[in-house]
Amino acid sequence: MKTTLDPKQIEQLIEAAKEARGRAFAPYSRFSVGAALLGPDQQIYLGCNVENASFGLTICAERAAVANAVAHGCRDFHALAVVAESDSGLVTPCGACRQVLAEFSPHLTVICSDGAGQTKIFGLDDLLPYRFDFNAR
């Protein structure tokens, strides 16, 4: 996917997501994820996954970053970086996170990285081509 972000911005978002990943609370899965959302004013909002013994109460890193941004008054996002390590390759946002992100920025740039050099850039439109849109009736 083509992006308007320069390589320095991409690296900055990945580094911020790596930092957030280090704060994850994942005692059950041991699968730590970090996310960094870029707002229109270049502010970066961090999120990490926070697990709970009642697994349905777990919050993903991407939704934690959205909540952080909204709590700071930001509701428009330009890009998201997600960092996680997986034996099966790069990790992309789950379906629920994709829908939440689309609520705010349906054309968001999504950067997925393993934090060690493997990176792929997607458009949220490509990851969630048929999003639910209450206003599209």
Structural domain includes residue 135: no
Phi, psi at 11, each rounded to 5°: -65, -40
Structural domain includes residue 115: yes
| Tens-digit pLDDT string for the chain (137 aa) | 667 899 999 999 999 999 999 999 999 999 999 999 999 999 999 999 999 999 999 999 999 999 999 999 999 999 999 999 988 889 999 999 999 999 999 999 999 999 888 999 999 999 999 888 877 65
What's the pTM value of the predicted model, to 2 decimals? 0.93
Element (H, E) at 44: strand 44-48
The CATH number linked to 68 is 3.40.140.10
| Domain extent at residue 117 | 7-127
Which listed residue (19, 62, 85, 103) is catalytic?
Answer: 62
Domain count within the chain: 1
Is-catalytic flag, 62? yes
Structural domain includes residue 136: no
Structural domain includes residue 103: yes
User: How long, in residues, is the chain?
Assistant: 137
State the Cα–Cα distance between residues 87 and 91, nearest whole angstrom: 10
Structural domain includes residue 55: yes
Neighbours of 112 (CB within 10 A): 22
Structural domain includes residue 65: yes
